[in-house]
Amino acid sequence: MLRVDAARLRWLGVDMRARWRRRVAVVVSYAAFLVVVWLHPWRIDEMPWLLFVGMNLSLWDHAMKDSLGTVARRAMLATMFLGVAWLYWKHPAKPNRTICDIYALLWIGSLSAVAYGRLVDAVWLRSSVRRWLGKQRRLEGLDEFARHYYGENFAVLPEEQQVEVGRLQRANPMGEWVVQGSGRSLTVEDERLRREDDRLRAQVQRLMTWALIGLALGWSIAHESMHRAVSGDVVASSLWTMAALGLTLRQAIVLWTEPGVSDAGGEMELVEREAWRC
């Protein structure tokens, strides 16, 4: 689900409420990752160290928030970053392509526009973790549903809650597995979010399927045209790319497809410009 808080719907200081900006950010994120993983341009071996510093800038910024003003704090962090960049430029580390690929994956998974939790509130992952960590039990009767969701037996609930409990019980005739002790806050989800999650799962599965088919076809063509096995670098780059797609596709689909967010109340605009309808 796309974040609706305007203060949090920003990337690199840019307002991401407009869909066209989000689409540009998605393209930029993937393009930067693919350049690093596939091309490894000149002096790219210094990039892991710069990315490491960049990942910690926000932590340092938060730690110094109470002791320094905004301008002084940002100036100090910029000076630190430039200093580290200069040191590694003058004294480069030994090239290590694997380390570079690892940091590229960390970047696209944690700092880019398609990173988890940055612009998209991926509630599906949090709920999955809760299910994995929590002890599960199965609800079967009306009283069990009522006690789990509302903390009372079915007979003492008001009519509105009885109707809701009855609907839940009918929707799960074989019983419903829930996290023990989680209560309503963790197990009752908005029906729209459930449908949205199913739609995203289907889209991700289709895209990953086509990506795997294209990858297999590309390897086959390369093998036949060059009359030799595909190089290990190509295989490694392909695997890193598939790992990045697996981490980011859900967020990328939301950023690409969700309509623009209006200024009033963070509600989704129902009508957008004709240029984006197609």
Task: Report which of residues 123 and 221 the model is more confident about.
Answer: 221
123-137, 143-157, 217-231 — most confident range = 143-157
Mean of pLDDT over the chain: 75
What is the per-residue pLDDT across 78-109, written as a single tens digit (0 to 9) for each? 888 788 778 777 776 666 788 788 888 888 98
Give me the pLDDT at residue 30, please.
Answer: 95
Per DSSP, the three-state class of 123 is helix
What is the per-residue pLDDT across 227-262, written as a single tens digit (0 to 9) for each? 566 677 888 888 899 999 988 988 898 888 888 776
165 within 8 A of 154, measured Cβ to Cβ:
yes
222 within 8 A of 234, measured Cβ to Cβ:
yes
Instruction: Look at residue 29 and tell me whether its pLDDT is greater than 80.
Output: yes
Sign of the dihedral through C-alpha 161, 163, 169, 171:
negative
Q: Compute the C-alpha angle 203/221/210, nearest 5°.
A: 5
Segment 133-153 mean pLDDT: 77
Quote the distance between the C-alpha of residue 157 and its chain's center: 39
Quote the distance between the C-alpha of residue 83 and its chain's center: 31
Regarding pTM above 0.75, the answer is no
Above pLDDT 90, what percent of the chain? 8
Instruction: Look at residue 191 and tell me whether its pLDDT is greater than 60.
Output: no
Give me the pLDDT at residue 129, please.
Answer: 56
Give me the pLDDT at residue 201, please.
Answer: 76
Residue 127 carries which side chain, given as an amino acid letter? Answer: S
